[in-house]
Structure 1
Amino acid sequence: MTPKPSALELWPAAASAVAVETDYLIFAFTVLTLMLTVPVFLAITWFAIRYRDGQEADRGTGGIRSNLIEISWMLIPFLLTLIFFVWGARLFVESKNPPPDAMVIEAVGRQWMWKFQHPTGQSEINDLHVPMGQAIKIRIISQDVIHALYLPALRMQVAALPDRYTELWFKADKAGTFHLYCSEYCGTDHSVMGGAITILRQGEYQDWLTHSGAQQSKVAAGRAIYDAYGCGGCHDAGSPVKAPKLAGLYGSAVRLADGRTITADEDYLRDKIRNPGGSRPADGGRQVMPSFAGVIPEDDLGRLVDYIKSGTGETRLGEATR
């Protein structure tokens, strides 16, 4: 359920330590800006009145000149603002480096809804449930136009781009239900493309997983996609088509025709499914696999990649040879 906004809410609640620190950064920089600019504007106003046309005043030039004052006026504000640059840069770098144990949630933006896929198979539309105290990495892509996932309570925002994955991560430390929005104008119903993020204590989150309904694992869902698109007709053992076998492919080294050697990671698998002819292998085989760009929805593509990653293709290949 989407939380109702308060009519008197001037600043969103902070649901993580990073959100609190971000607020401190904004408030402190605002204070510094006012300290540097308010005296200047007050002086401008006073001089404009004091030395206005027709007012008797001594307009002679003074003989006092001080390089120290001039240098101090430039150097001190520069050093003060540099502190905030370093502070903000540190927060930015940390936001781009999630911990290795972060729980990965797949997200797809489309006109006009958000779809979230949990590691255990549960799916949500426009609502997101996450555990408190656990690092969460959201891996996001758009199925149509550019969107942007905005979580005000976490002070986090990331663009959702077509054909390109982006990420954000956070660790929430305050239970509750908070807004999520699309902050990039994306068409007619952009204003209603929102929902809620619910932060639960660990026990409550496990209870939600148990009773949320969808219990199909990501691997099982991926195998269903594998069968639905007929991938086994070429990639299963015993197939008359000379296609690469998928067992053990993920994480292996792949030699390309241009002499490079790359690792078959998630991005490689996604690119290969979308555009099979984009990176030709060194074995010189002819590319006969059709492109699935625009054919497989992004959420189905993610499940298919999860199936290939799991290595369960080895069991499947074994079954096919019996």
Structure 2
Amino acid sequence: MKIFGIPIFPEQASTFAADVDALYFFVLATCAFFAIGVAVAVIYFGIRYHKKHDGEIGARIEGSLPLELLWSVIPTIIAMVMFGWGASVFYHLRRPPAEAMHIYAVGKQWMWKFQHLEGQREINELHIPAGRPIKVTISSEDVLHSLFFPAFRTKMDAIPGRYTELWFEAQTPGEYHIFCTEYCGTNHSGMIGTVKVLEPAQYQAWLQGGSMEGTLAQRGAKLFNDLACSTCHLDTGQGRGPSLKDILGKTVDLQDGSSAIVDEGYLRESILNSQAKIVKGFQPLMPTFQGLISEENLVALIEHLKSLSPNATTAAAPATGAAAATPQPAAAAVEKK
């Protein structure tokens, strides 16, 4: 966006960028109108009614109920308009469509690492198709970061030990900036990247390059076996840990008498802190894997566990729960024995 040829705002490159800008300019214009009005009134009354000679006493003013009601009701109405409009935009920003393409992002000093479900992995670069909703599940491998796509008018913090998410739908092919907007250390300003929005056919051609390691879920399956998770978590449920087959989205009973819904947050916590929630009927035998695997491998393990529940309605639901701050193995992902 340019004013008199000078770039003021990033271009509007997502479906809701115009909505965010409209709300922003409305709030800005409203605040500017009242700020200027108050300033002009202060200056005018200061000049018009200034003290002209010593001993002068101003006229007594009793007040005006209609005027007081007016300056109370009008700001209230304007505030409610801002609230309603803002809530509507926020609701849209925070509810990704069910058909959104899923990508994982990991923040690390000082880079952004992206993983596609098809297996492609990128650093400080993200390829996506135009005209398709994209959901990004975000985590951090070290400190607090914040993933910001200026042209798409969306950002979200990357918090150690938990998942957050954002979504957008890019409309126009091209290249757009990625920034970290949370100070994260000495090279914070260098934590930048590029989104490359491609035509759908071009994106499919890019995907053909493929990953030699298979899909994200396939990588997770290999890790699941390498970490010996499959020796405890048997599909029959007769192992030392609970069966993970078709478990996503279900409610499990815990030894302390409480229950928990199995989502990405639960899986993450079970991998990183296996003693936090122990499934009823199992012993706390699973070791803690915190710090033993990278955040990217943790994501792969969780994606594999999700693939074991193909009919789960919450398969793509982001985890908002806490997990230990550093990534860990997933073998026992839900073991919580």
Normalising by structure 1, report the TM-score.
0.86
Q: 1:80 to 1:263 in 2, by over 3 A?
A: closer
Shift of 1:159: 0.6
Alpha-carbon RMSD across the aligned residues, in angstroms, is: 2.7
CA contact (8 A) 2:127 2:195 kept: yes
* Residue of structure 1 equivalent to 2:297: 300
Helix, strand or coil: the match of 2:7?
coil
Q: Return the match for 1:278 from 276, 279, 283.
A: 276
Shift of 1:37: 2.0
Alignment of 1:74-93 (within 5 A): 74-93=72-91
Q: 1:63 to 1:264 in 2, by over 3 A?
A: closer
* Residue of structure 2 equivalent to 1:218: 216
Aligned length: 305
Q: 1:214 to 1:157 in 2, by over 3 A?
A: farther
Alignment of 1:1-322 (within 5 A): 8-54=6-52, 60-61=58-59, 65-211=63-209, 216-235=214-233, 242-283=240-281, 285-311=282-308
- Whole-angstrom distance in 2 between the partners of 1:272 and 1:65: 65
CA contact (8 A) 1:234 1:243 kept: yes
* Residue of structure 1 equivalent to 2:334: none
CA contact (8 A) 2:119 2:211 kept: no
Shift of 1:237: 7.7
The structure richer in helix per residue is 1
Q: 1:24 to 1:32 in 2, by over 3 A?
A: same
Helix, strand or coil: the match of 1:235?
coil
* Residue of structure 2 equivalent to 1:3: none
CA contact (8 A) 1:140 1:160 kept: yes
Shift of 1:232: 3.3
Shift of 1:66: 3.0
Which range moved further: 44-53 or 110-119? 44-53
- Whole-angstrom distance in 1 between the partners of 2:94 and 2:202: 28
Unmatched 5+ residue regions in structure 2?
Answer: 310-337
Which digits, 9 at most, give the CA deviation of each residue in 1:100-128, with x for residues without a partner?
A: 11111111101111111112111110111
CA contact (8 A) 1:123 1:214 kept: no
One-letter code aligned to 1:18 = F
- Aligned-pair identity (%): 38
Which digits, 9 at most, give the CA deviation of each residue in 1:8-67, with x for residues without a partner?
A: 4221111123111111111122222222221220121123334445469x8641668532
- Whole-angstrom distance in 2 between the partners of 1:308 and 1:78: 50
CA contact (8 A) 1:120 1:215 kept: no
Unmatched 5+ residue regions in structure 1?
Answer: 1-6, 313-322
Which range moved further: 209-218 or 70-79? 209-218
Which digits, 9 at most, give the CA deviation of each residue in 1:134-171, with x for residues without a partner?
A: 11111101111000001111111101001110011112
- Whole-angstrom distance in 2 between the partners of 1:308 and 1:19: 35
One-letter code aligned to 1:36 = F
- Whole-angstrom distance in 2 between the partners of 1:71 and 1:294: 61
CA contact (8 A) 1:95 1:169 kept: yes
Q: 1:169 to 1:237 in 2, by over 3 A?
A: closer
Computing the radius of gyration over CA atoms, which structure comes out larger, 1 or 2? 1
Q: 1:124 to 1:214 in 2, by over 3 A?
A: farther
Helix, strand or coil: the match of 2:86?
helix
Helix, strand or coil: the match of 1:133?
coil
Which digits, 9 at most, give the CA deviation of each residue in 1:281-302, with x for residues without a partner?
A: 221x321211011222121011
Q: 1:11 to 1:212 in 2, by over 3 A?
A: farther
Which range moved further: 247-256 or 106-115? 247-256
- Whole-angstrom distance in 2 between the partners of 1:294 and 1:162: 12
Which range moved further: 111-120 or 225-234? 225-234
Q: 1:84 to 1:241 in 2, by over 3 A?
A: closer
Which range moved further: 47-56 or 18-27? 47-56
